[in-house]
Amino acid sequence: MDVEEKYDVLDMRNYRMEKLPKREKSKFERFLMKIGAPLAILSFVLILWVLDIPFLQNIKPEDLSKVAKSNYDAIGSDQFIFANRAMLAIFVASLILWITEAIPNYLTSLILIITLVLTHVLPEKVAYAQLGHKVMWLNIMSFILASMLVATGVAKRFALWFIIKFGKNASSLIFSFMVINIVLSLFISATTAKAAILLPVMMVVAAIYGASHGKKNNVGRNVILQNLFQNNMGASSFMTGSGANLLAVSLMAGAMGRDIFFSEWMIAAFPVALALMIIGWFVGTKIIFRIKKEDRKPKIAGGMDSLKKDLADLGKISKNEIKAVIIFVSILILWVTDRWHGVSPTAVAFLGGIVALLPKIGIVKWNDVDIPWHLLLFSAGAYTLGAGFKVTDLPSISVNASFDAMGFGADTPFSVLYITLTGAMVFSALFMQSKTMRSMIFVPIAIGVALRFNYPILSLAFPVAMLIEHVYTLPFNSKPALLLYSTNHYSMGEAFRFGITMQIIAWGMSILMAMSYFRWLGITPNGLF
C-alpha cells in the first residue's frame, strides 16, 4: 500500500502546524534581510549626526504637549532638539529592521530600548519600566487564560460542537466559524494561536467537501480565507483581541489622560466587525468564490462523522472544563461592565489568571501556560517607543511640519483628514507585517493630527485604531495569513482578490460609520462630515 492510500484526509492529526510545509523566503525577502542591518545603521547615523532636518530646528515650546514642554524646560532647547533627532533616528532604524526582518523583532526591541537610554531620550527607570506596563500585564494574563481554554480542551470542544450542531451545509459551516472566531477572540489575544487551534477543524471540513490533498475548490477557498478574515475581525471587535489593540488603547489613553474601557471599544467596534464578517461571508461565498449547488453537499460519505468522533474522543465534559467556562464567563461579564464597576480589564484578567493557577482550585499549572515572551519583548519595545514619542512630541512636530509643507491649513475639512488617515491605516497592511508596528506609527499620527486641528483625540485615533486588524490580503501581511496560505487551498492572487475587496469595503464602512454610528456614540463630532 503506498503513501497516498495511507493518508487519511479526515484525520485531524495530519493538519497540525508542524506538518504544514514551511514557506521559503523569496529572493527579494532574502535581499531585504541582507541589507536591513546596514541600512538601519546608515539611517541612524545620517539622521542623528549628518542630515539637516529643518522641522526639528524650529520647535516652538508653546506648540508642545504638556509632557514635552516640561521636558523642554528641564533639559533646554539644544538637548531637546537632539532628543528629537535621536528619537527619529531610532524610530526609522527600528522600522527598517522590523520591515526587513534582518534580525528577530524582539531583538530589535531590546536594541531600541537601550539606545533610547544611551541617547538620553528616556531615563533608565522609564525605559525599563515599559515591560511592567499594565497593558503588558494584561497580555500576560490573557495568555494564561488562553492556555486555560486550550489545555482543558474546551476551545476545541466548543468549535467541534458548534460546527456539528449548526453546520448543516457548506455555507452554514463557514458561517459557524464566524461565531467560533468571535468567541475565541474574547480571550485569545494572539490571532496566530486562534488560527492554529482551528486549523485542523478547517482542514477536515474542507476535506469533507472535496478540497484536500492538493485538490482545490471554492468550498476550501472559502473555509480558509473566511476564517482568516473572521479571525482578524474577531480580534478587532475587542480591545483584548490583539496586542496591537492594547498598544493603541495605551497610546490613546496616555494622550487623553483617561482610560479607555473594554465596553467602550466593544460597543464601537463589534457591530462594525460583525457587519464586515457577514458582508465578507456573502462576498466570498456568493460572488468571488461562488459555491455551486452541487458543491454544497459533502463529497466524502460520513465525513461529518469524523468530526463527531473527534468530539466523542474528548469524552464527557470535565470539571476543569466547567471551571474554565465559569472563569471565562465571569471575566467576560466583568470586562463588559467595567465602566460601571471601575475595575480595569488588567485587574480583572489578573484575578482570572490567579484563580486559573491556584492549586486544587485552579485549572492549569505554570508549565502548561504558553507565554510567547519574544512577542512580549517586541511589545515592550513598541511601548518604549511610545514613551519616547511622549517626551519628545515627535509625532505632533512632524505632523505639523508635513501639513504645513502640503499646504493643509486650519480650514482643512475633518472629512479629508478622516478619509486620509483611515485609508492610510487600511492599505498600509499591504506592505507591513506587524500590526503592532502599524499601531505604533498611525495611532500617534492620528493623535497628532487631532491635536493640530483641535479635534477630540478619539475622533481620529479611535477609528484608525479599529482598522489595525485588516491584515489578510497577502501571505506576508500577518502570521495567520502566512500560516493559512501554507495549507495550499488558494493562490496568492485569489487571496488578493478577496482581501483587497474587503479592505475597500472596510474603508467605506469606516467612513459611513463616521457619518452615522460613530457620531451617535460621540466619537466623531457632529456636523463635520
Three state DSSP letters for 76-96: CHHHHHHHHHHHHHHHHHHHH
Whole-number mean pLDDT of the chain? Answer: 85
Q: Which of 45-49, 422-426, 484-488, 507-511 shows the lowest per-residue confidence on average (mean pLDDT)?
A: 484-488
276 vs 147, higher pLDDT: 276
The one-letter amino acid code at 281 reads W
Predicted pLDDT at 367:
83
Is the pLDDT at 5 greater than 50, yes or no?
A: no
pLDDT > 90 fraction of the chain, expressed in percent and rounded: 36
Quickly state the pLDDT bin for 224 (edges 50, 70, 90). very high
Domain boundary assignment for the chain = 136-368
Predicted pLDDT at 407:
76
Three-state secondary structure along 411-462? CCCHHHHHHHHHHHHHHHCCCCCCHHHHHHHHHHHHHHHHHHCCCCHHHHHH
Grid cell locating 228: 482568516
170 vs 45, higher pLDDT: 45
Rounded mean pLDDT, 343-353:
88
CB 132 within 8 A of CB 125: no
Quickly state the pLDDT bin for 229 (edges 50, 70, 90). very high
Is the pLDDT at 193 greater than 50, yes or no?
A: yes
pLDDT digits (tens, 9 = 90+) for 275-325: 999 999 999 999 999 988 777 777 766 667 777 888 888 889 999 899 988
Is the pLDDT at 97 greater than 70, yes or no?
A: yes
Rounded mean pLDDT, 212-223:
84
Is the pLDDT at 231 greater than 80, yes or no?
A: yes
Maximum alpha-carbon separation in the chain: 80
Rounded mean pLDDT, 443-451:
88
Three-state secondary structure along 372-399? CHHHHHHHHHHHHHHHHHHHHCHHHHHH
Q: Which of 103-112, 227-236, 425-434 shows the lowest per-residue confidence on average (mean pLDDT)?
A: 425-434
Predicted pLDDT at 44:
97
Rounded mean pLDDT, 370-389:
80
- Closest listed residue to residue 462, CA positions, set 332, 221, 267, 179: 267
515 vs 214, higher pLDDT: 515
Quickly state the pLDDT bin for 478 (edges 50, 70, 90). confident
Residues 6+ apart with CB under 8 A from 440: 247, 251, 382, 385, 386
Rounded mean pLDDT, 171-197:
82
Q: What angle do CA 447, 265, 527 make, to 5 degrees?
A: 60
Is the pLDDT at 17 greater than 60, yes or no?
A: no
CB 196 within 8 A of CB 247: no
